[in-house]
Chain A
Amino acid sequence: MVEIRSVLEGHVKPGRHGLTVVHPGVVLREVTGRDLVQVGAWRDTIGSVRGRLASELGLAASPDLGRSAEGSTATVFMIGPDKLWITAPRDRDLFERLSKVLHPVDAVVTELGHSRTIIRIAGREARDVLARFVAIDLDPARFPPASFASVGVHAIGCLLHYVKEEGAAGVYDLYIPSTFALSLFEAIAEIAEQWGYEFVG
């Protein structure tokens, strides 16, 4: 398989950056090795498509707006009334599988795996970092784990996914359009400098 070049490659050094502290407030890393596929159905087919996806991907619950649905390896985001994003490890041939499962009359499948760079923002100050960019209420009572939202980061449309809570700190994945990813990463990292951050390469 041909290697995929990260847009961060050569631009970001792994290690500690910013304020020198014992425990950096923010941990940044790029989530690699995942594929992203969009499934677009229509109002008369979305119900059955959701069902088929739940079955194919082994989802515990049918995907719904605003909350991710987890399968054994896949995560599903219902990003609109008739559109879903599915992310899974790249070696699962997600695009091919779903293209076979879904008839184009019922739903179309679009490969987007290279279109987004996923930046994981974790650490005790993760929410504070995101609050500098994202105009949504990240209080876990309002935006609990598994929530996702379409957000504007520096005026660029991104998908924010609250992956999990880890030791009273949030772990968030930000799906950034790849052509903007380096620029937004630099902006995020610059903000994170005030708490000290670690980039895990």
Chain B
Amino acid sequence: MWRCRLVDLMDRLVPLKAWRGYLIVRHRERCPRCLARLASREEALRFLVRSEDVAPSLNLWPRLRRALAGGTRATESAAAVSSFVWRRAFAAAGAILLAIFGLWLLRSGISVRTDRTAAEASQDSRFKLNYIRIGGEPATAYIYQSKGTDMIVVWAERNP
């Protein structure tokens, strides 16, 4: 008796299904006192519909046969539609990917070309002085270009 009460208490304290299942296996399924508090199979069957109760009046086949004929056709057409839809979807996704890739190629090509032309342009417009000599001797050169103007000032100094 005290065990049953203890199990009840533990059941209430920890209402987890795994724990409750464990208590059922360990105690409730074996204890005659606890089993007496549960409905027996016969008692349960008083409230349940049994296979024997429904068997004589049951004939599902005619309905099912019609449904099967319709269902199979519906499934086949649904499968065809779905495969068509998938094919279209894959084609569209492929086209989009190709377009994105092409756009990316185009953009990167343009940017490479613009970079190159800018570099070439800057190369061409760059003021270049290979060497400077004063009196046949190498001299030090200072080149100034003020911002916003095209004027370049070259200052040469004889080396000491």
Do A and B belong to a common assembly? no
